[in-house]
Each structure stands twice: as structure tokens, then as C-alpha cells.
Amino acid sequence: MFKKVLVANRGEIAVRVIRTLHEMGIRAVAIYSEADRAALHVRMADEAYCIGPAPARESYLDIERVLAAAKRSGAEAIHPGYGFLSENPAFAEACERAGIVFIGPPASAMHAMGSKPAARTKMAAAGVPIVPGVESGSIEELAVAAERVGYPVMLKAASGGGGKGMRLVDRPEDLHEAFERAQSEALKAFGDATVYLEKAIVKPRHVEIQVLGDREGNVVHVFERDCSIQRRHQKVVEESPSPVATPELVARMGEVAVRGAKAVGYFSAGTFEFLLGQDGSFYFLEMNTRLQVEHPVTELISGLDLVHEMVRIAYGEPLGYSQSDLHRRGHAIQCRVYAEDPSSNFLPSPGRIETLKLPGGPGIRDDSGAYPGCEISSFYDPLVSKLCVWAPDRPRAIAKMRRALREYVVTGIKTNLSFHQQLFSHPEFIAGHYDTGFIAQYHEELLGYAPLPEAHSDAWAVAIALAASKLEGAPATAQAAQQATDGLSPWVAAHRAERLGR
């Protein structure tokens, strides 16, 4: 087994990976930016190396700096966590050239699944059901495709995710403007303006299948996660089993996911994401060629440690079990606790945590990189922790989560804990009656104010950009606002806008 592994990440996922490495008797190497010098993952690691300034592109996204730290430490392998370089095939290839094992899938599979249009084509050839649409093209070609599949349609960025570059189009006359906006957002977020079109599935659920494969071609699925509670196309709550997916449906989706993984020679942990229609039909959405944020849900119901499995597979060990050996028990739910203000359209709330009291008791798990006195930086993702519960059934899991949320105390920053408390008391959620539009549908009940109209959402983004330009001392023109936010994440831009308003 490996003796030393570098964790090419930060925050809660770095802490989570380090814990498993230590359980396996493996020395853990941390990397950190100047902003993360006092971070928990740095304190927990056996060794730690500063790799650059706070901006991710100068530290966590810099392949050469990450590899230099690995070589300096003598690490035999690198675990990328999620985000940053985790789905970058160039990084996997660079690790191979440097003689360092990449704890993840082969670069060839990442290439095959990294472009959503290409992945759609590949999966269709493997017999995986895909949403009707067209992979790319001019606005004229997309208009023809939209008429063919029928409105409403969804425009999506070919690269990246997180809801960026997505536009729902209900009418033909709105297609051109939506196309231009999707292209602009995709180019800024991912450096690729390619947009493709799909038939919009009305009131779908977002259900994903966890897969594990080894280097010998053995692949299994580890059941499903329902990730339908989303805001702005970003997940905030995940659970397993899905309240609506029957064992027979999960088995069919699992078989499809395994077939898709084998089609690209996949090994390690990965996730197939599907849209589940009201009639029980399901369609391939994308594959995430990495560990998912919501992986603890699967661990709680299966008994597997997915990071442990990834390390074993990377070392060359076989899975050692078949599909019939895997069984689930009970029900697990995860809440993502973010540093944000739900009462202000989820405006980010960076700052120093003054008090942090975590819930406890049987069936409670909190994955976090935070501690009292730590700084929630505006440079990175605002995730504070992942609060997870397990219980024998869904009603008891919901009751346990409500109790855990009442016990959870964070001061010094604003969080979305109040939103989660409202959600887990909502009768429709308790009944399992929800889809990806649930937060928008019950926005006022969950948050206490009416939702921001789509047109006003764009105005909100412009206001943030203008505020950022003023903060930097630039003229408050549209051009200056664009320049001021180039290269900034919405998280950073929103933080700047909030500071301006103080």
C-alpha cells in the first residue's frame, strides 16, 4: 500500500480524505495557499506545503506547483478530492508523466466524459438513454432542433457545471437571447462558449447513481442519491434512498450506469447523474468523474468508505466484491451548510466564525473544515460543512435532522441553517413530494420573501458587477464592470458587493 499520499485540495474534503489516509496507516501531505495557512486540513496533515497566493489559479489550480509539492514530499500518489483539478485530464496525465499515481479515473475516461455533448454521444452509443436534443451548433441549427423536440427546451454549457451557462426557454421568440446569454456565461465561467440544447423534462427529479470500478474491468453501482432539492441548479440537500425510486427502478438505473462506465473503461469512484421523469423514465444528464460532495450519503447506507475504495483501486487492488454483495440499510440525508444569507437571496457571508457548536448523538455525521476562530474566505467555495444523519427509515431520519439543525450553532457569519430548518418542517418535503423546482415553488414559505424574477436575477448580477467596479475604483460603466469581474467567481464578486453596501 502507499506510504504517503498528497491531498490536492482544501477545506472539508481535504480533512475527510486525510482521516481515511490515517486510518489506512498512510502519511498525509497537505498543500495550502497563503490564505489557508491556519486551515484545519493543514493542522491535521503529517506534512504541509504552501504552494502560492490565495487565488486558486495561482495555487490549487496550478498543476506544476501541486506536482512540485508532491515531489518535494516524496508522495507516491495524489488524491484530488472534488473541484479544483479533480476532473482535469491534463492533471491526471501530468501525474502519470511525473511517476505519481492519480487516485481517480484514467485520463481517457475523463476526456470521454468531460464534454457533455461528447458524453451524450458516447452514452447513446452504449445504450444509455439520453434526453432528446442536439449536441451543438449555430443558433439557426438549435432553433430547428428546438422545434423538432418541442418547447420548453434547456440550453446548457458544454463544459463545466454548477448551473452556469444554463437557460430554460419556453418560447421560440426567447431562444436567441437565451442562447447569447448562455454562451456569454459559459465562456466566462469555463473558457468555452459551446452551448447545446436538450428537451426540458417538466418537473424532473435529479437522481444519481454511484459507481465503483477497478483496473480489471469490474464495475458495480452503490445505489442512488436523490439530489432534487436545488437552488440555481446547485444541490443543497441529498438523500438515499430516493422517496420515489422503487428498488426495480434503481436496479435498472444502476445497470445503465455500470454499462456506461464500462463503455469508457472507467475505474475508481464516479457518478452518473440522471433526470427522472414523473412517468418513471430516466435520462442521462452527465457523469462526474470524481468523488461527489454528497458521497457521505452513500457511505452511510452502504457501509463503504468510498475514499478507502479509491485508494485501494489506485494501488491496483481489485474490488473484491460483486453487485450481489452490496446491500443498503436505513435512510441517510445530507444538508450542505453554507456561509450565506438566505434572507438576502443567499448572498455570501464570509468572515470569522466566533462560535461553532456541532450536533451530536447516534446517527449524526458532520464533515467540516471549520473550527471556532477560523476564517471563511471569499476566495473559495462557501461550504462550511456537510451535516449528515442516518436512521432506520426516512421519517426518523427527518426527525433526527430537525433535531440536529436545532443543535447546530454558528456565530460570526450568516448561514443557511434557518432555510434547512424550514425545509425539513415543510409538509410537502416530509411527504417526499418534491422536484428540482421545489425551492422556487415554495420560495416564500421557505425563505420568507417572494422569489426574484428571472429578469431581476440578471439585474442583480449586473448590480454586483457594478459594485465590484466601484470597489476597485473603476468607472461604473458596463464595460468597467465586466473588466472588474473578469476571472472572479460569483462568490468573490458577491462578497465585494456586500462589502460595498456596509
Phi, psi at 326, each rounded to 5°: -95, 130
The three cell numbers locating residue 272: 452518473
| Residue length of the chain | 502
Q: How far is CA 497 from CA 254, 258, 350, 384, 502, in A?
A: 44, 45, 12, 21, 9
SS (H, E, C) 276-304: ECCCCCEEEEEEECCCCCCHHHHHHHHCC
Amino acid identity of residue 150, one-letter, is G
Grouping H, G, I as helix, E, B as strand and the rest as coil, residue 410 is strand
User: Where are the strands (E) in 326-480, listed by range?
Assistant: 331-338, 340-341, 347-348, 351-352, 355-357, 364-368, 375-376, 383-391, 409-411
Q: How far is CA 25 from CA 3, 28, 30, in A?
A: 8, 9, 16
- Give dist(CA 408, CA 4) in Å, integer: 35
- Give dist(CA 199, CA 132) in Å, integer: 6
The three cell numbers locating residue 288: 462526474
Query: In which element (H, E) is residue 164 found?
Result: none
CB–CB of 21/92 below 8 Å?
no
Helix and strand numbers, DSSP H then E, in the chain: 19, 23
Question: What b/e sequence results for 334-349 when a residue is b if at least 16 CB atoms lie within 10 Å of its CB, and e otherwise?
Answer: bbbbbbbbbeebbbbb
The three cell numbers locating residue 494: 458577491
Phi, psi at 35, each rounded to 5°: -75, -20
Q: Which residue out of 10, 205, 231, 290 is catalytically annotated?
A: 290
> How much of the chain is in helix, strand and coil states, percent to nearest 5?
40, 25, 35
Interhelix angle 116-125/107-114, rounded to 10 degrees, is: 100
DSSP 8-state symbol, 421: H
The dihedral built from the CA positions of residue 159, 162, 164 and 167, taken in this order, carries a sign that is: positive
Concerning whether 499 is annotated as a catalytic residue, the answer is no
- Give dist(CA 207, CA 275) in Å, integer: 6
Task: Report, as residue numbers or ranges, the catalytic residues.
Answer: 290
